[in-house]
Amino acid sequence: MKPLIGIAPLFDDEKKNIWMLPDYMNAIRHAGGVPVILPLGGSPEDMCAAVSVCSGFLLTGGQDVDPKIYGEKPLPQCGTPNENRDQTDYLILCYAMEHNVPLLGICRGIQLINAGLGGTLWQDLLSQTGTKIMHRQPPPRDVPAHDVEIVPGSPLHELLKTEKLAVNSFHHQGVKTAAPGVTVMAVAEDGLAEAIAVNGKDFIWGVQWHPEHMFFRDGCEMALFRELVRRSAAAK
C-alpha cells in the first residue's frame, strides 16, 4: 500500500480560505505516495488524530514564521504571521520528532523546523545581511536562480551524489543560527543555510528552495520526494 503523506495546508489571508498548490501534490504522487491535505488549526487532539494516520509529512511554504517563536520582535520587513499555520506546523513537527516519522520541510518548512527546535531566522535577508544573491526571483518558478554547495559526506550529498545544485528561490527569510541538534547540509554562495537535517532522526530534512516546481525536469529534485516517500513506506 502506498504511504499517506500529510501536507501542511496553505492559507489565503485575504480570502480566509485553505488551499493547496498542485505541484506539492503532484510531486508526492510521482514519487509513489498519496498526498493528504491536513486540517489547519483545531484542538491538539483533533490534529493528533489526523497526523496519526500519516506515514510521512510535507511542510509547505507560506507566511513568515512568527519571530516570537525564536525570541525576537518583528522587524518592519517581516510579513504578518499566521498563528494557525505556526501552531499546525509545529504540532506536525513535534509529532514527527516524537515518533520518528519522515518529514520534509520546504521554504517556510525549513524555517519552521529550525525555529521550532530552538534556532533563529533572518527576518529579512536583504536588509539584515545585504546579500547579493537572488533569493527572491521573478517567475517562472521552474528556473534556477543560484547554486547551492552541498556539504560532502552529508545525508543530502549521499542521496544526490553531487556537491553543487542549481535551485530556484522564493524567500526573503532564512536560517540564521542552526538549532541545537540540526546539521546544515547545503549553503548558498552567501553562506545562507539551504538544507538541514535533524540529527538522530531517520529523515527530518528541510530545504530552502522549492523542489516541487522543478521535480519534473530535475532528477535531484525528484530524489527528495522519492526519499521522503521511500522512508515513509519503510516506517509504516
Residue 158 annotated in active site: no
Catalytic residue among 210, 220, 221, 227: 210
Active site includes 210? yes
How many residues are present in the chain? 236
Selection from 37, 35, 36, 44 nearest residue 17 by Cα: 37
**Could you say which of 54, 78, 107, 220 is catalytic?**
107
Three-class SS of 105-169: EECHHHHHHHHHCCCEEECCHHHHHCCCCCCECCCCCCCCCEEEEECCCCHHHHHHCCCEEEECC
Whole-angstrom distance, CA of residue 20 vs CA of residue 59: 12
163 catalytic? Reply is no
Taking the C-alpha atoms of residue 125 and residue 171, their distance in angstroms, rounded to an integer, is: 9
Write down the H helix ranges in the chain: 22-30, 44-51, 83-99, 108-116, 125-129, 155-160, 219-235
**CA 72, CA 228: separation in Å to the nearest integer?**
32
C-alpha–C-alpha distance, residues 181 and 122, integer Å: 19
Among 78, 146, 212, 221, the one annotated catalytic: 212
Active site residues: 107, 210, 212
